[in-house]
Amino acid sequence: MKSIKYIFITLAILASGCTDDWLELEPVGQKLEINFYQTEEDIYQGLIAAYSMLQPKYFSGWSSYYFLANFPSDDSEVVGGGPGDRPEYHAIGEFTMLPTNSAVLQLWRRNYYGIYRANVVIENADPSASQASKQYIAEAKFLRAYYYFQLVQFFGDVPLITGNLTQDEYDQPRKPVKQVFSQIISDLESAIPNMELSYPQTYRATKGAAQSLLGKIYLYMASPYYYQNYNFNLSQAEYYQLAADQFETVILSAQYDLEPVYDNIWRYEYEHGVESIFEIEYANIERGGDWGNGRVNGGNIDVQMSGPRSITSDTLLAGWGFDMVTQDLIAAYNAQGDTERRDGTAYGEAFLASIGAGTPEQNPGYTGYFCKKRATWKHITWNSNAEWNYETNERVIRYADVLLMMSEAILGGAAGNADYYFNLVRERAGLDPIAGVTMDDIKTERRLELAMEGFRYFDLVRWGDAATVLGPKGFVAGKHEVFPIPQEEIVNSNNALTQNPNY
């Protein structure tokens, strides 16, 4: 069992028909939210509750933030049991998602649940009480920044909520991306001085995580799609330099390095390894599926979703076959002679035969390749009824990503040697270095290095390449750079929310 805690605050229910005095008594031995945050330990528990919203990938509907980021890319094919199996996911992969898509709705809500919990910590913690309280506020601001970055990537303009709302403030309109980015930057700049380089609790966000995220925000602001559409204040070159400044600080901290063997990065025993800057923690919990409310689970159900269907093996457990690796991605690895990263990213029928797993079920869209980064290894779940119980962490920020972003920022105009940072990543894969790195080299290298990690679709959008690369999948320029605003949330806001164009 991993170290992350699970916080449950139970509301007291008074049921009595006696007197008004009885009804006015405060509950004995119970803590309500209105009187909960009295001690430093209470604040810490509230912070853990804010962290816990990183985990859910299923609420009362399918909602994996990773799948919704990966399925639209040219790396992934949505297969499962066929088009009728989780049609909301097939719609994401085919760019036919509607404002009524249930997975999009739950993605929206997951991030705002997390923002609400982070806001509670920020509002209730006393920064003058102790250094620990300052750290808790800093981590809550990191989490709020992370959740808002997710929302901007998926939806563009979104409501910006930084405190508790009164009832007459519930119907919040969308705020421009520029304003949301400004809040994210403010949160991260405020957080970084009060964060540590490391913590005994490995799930906690560090100074390096916040600096990496801030650098990524600046890189996005400099990228063609964002810079051309959102009227930022500085020049592209200035944003690239701001990004590089943050990445350089992370690099010079000497806290991180490349894992020597690429295939080891996603192994259970290498979680929180030398390359990991921020991970979402998952736990091997002895419980079955909670189909009514997946928020209460600590396991990574995306592993189950990704495994091959209808196999039997002592090495791999059967999964549901959704997030299959495209043959186009395999061809991209082969074109570069990149066998190390190919074999660390995907496995196929030859591997299944070698472990005696048999032939997997092959439904429409079947590619022959499964995601190794979310392999259904038998040893990382407590029994064969694995649906909710995989302990595989999500590597959200890793050092190779920072090195490649640093190289990209230098190509954009920041000071430095782009070849140096680029080739550190390339040489780890056993490939020859490149002199005079170009933006096309960066684009290829990011795909091969970060494949099936949920970055590709967002990279294509920010570079302005999505219509060209993803057009065959159904991507329409001027529409699919963002997802639809959930119709149910528009209704809940009394139409204060507006819909994205062309949905």
Average pLDDT per block of 10 residues along the chain, 503 residues long: 37 35 46 72 94 85 90 98 96 98 95 97 90 95 98 98 91 97 98 96 96 98 98 97 98 98 95 97 70 70 94 93 97 98 98 96 98 93 70 96 98 98 98 98 98 98 98 98 98 97 98
pLDDT digits (tens, 9 = 90+) for 198-247: 999 999 999 999 999 999 999 999 999 999 999 999 999 999 999 999 99
- Residue 121 — φ and ψ, nearest 5°? -65, -45
- Half-sphere exposure of residue 441: CA atoms within 13 angstroms, side-chain side: 18
Q: What is the pLDDT of residue 127?
A: 86
pLDDT digits (tens, 9 = 90+) for 346-366: 999 999 999 999 999 999 999
Asked if 393 and 266 touch (Cβ cutoff 8 Å), the reply is: no
Q: What is the pLDDT of residue 292?
A: 63
CA distances in angstroms from 493 to 113, 144, 487, listed in the order given: 16, 21, 10
One-letter amino acid of 154: F
Distance of CA 167 to the CA centre of its chain: 31
List domains and CATH numbers for the chain: 42-195+455-491 (1.25.40.390), 199-281+393-446 (1.25.40.390), 297-392 (no CATH)
Q: What is the pLDDT of residue 31?
A: 58
One-letter amino acid of 248: E
Distance of CA 386 to the CA centre of its chain: 22
Distance of CA 265 to the CA centre of its chain: 17
Q: What is the pTM of this model?
A: 0.92
Is 277 in a helix, a strand, or coil? strand
Beta carbons within 8 Å of 428's beta carbon, 6+ residues apart: 258, 259, 260, 262, 400
Q: How far apart are CA 158 and CA 151, in angstroms?
A: 7
Strands 276-280 and 369-371: unpaired
Q: What Rg do the C-alpha atoms of the chain give, in angstroms?
A: 23
Read off the DSSP letter of residue 268: G
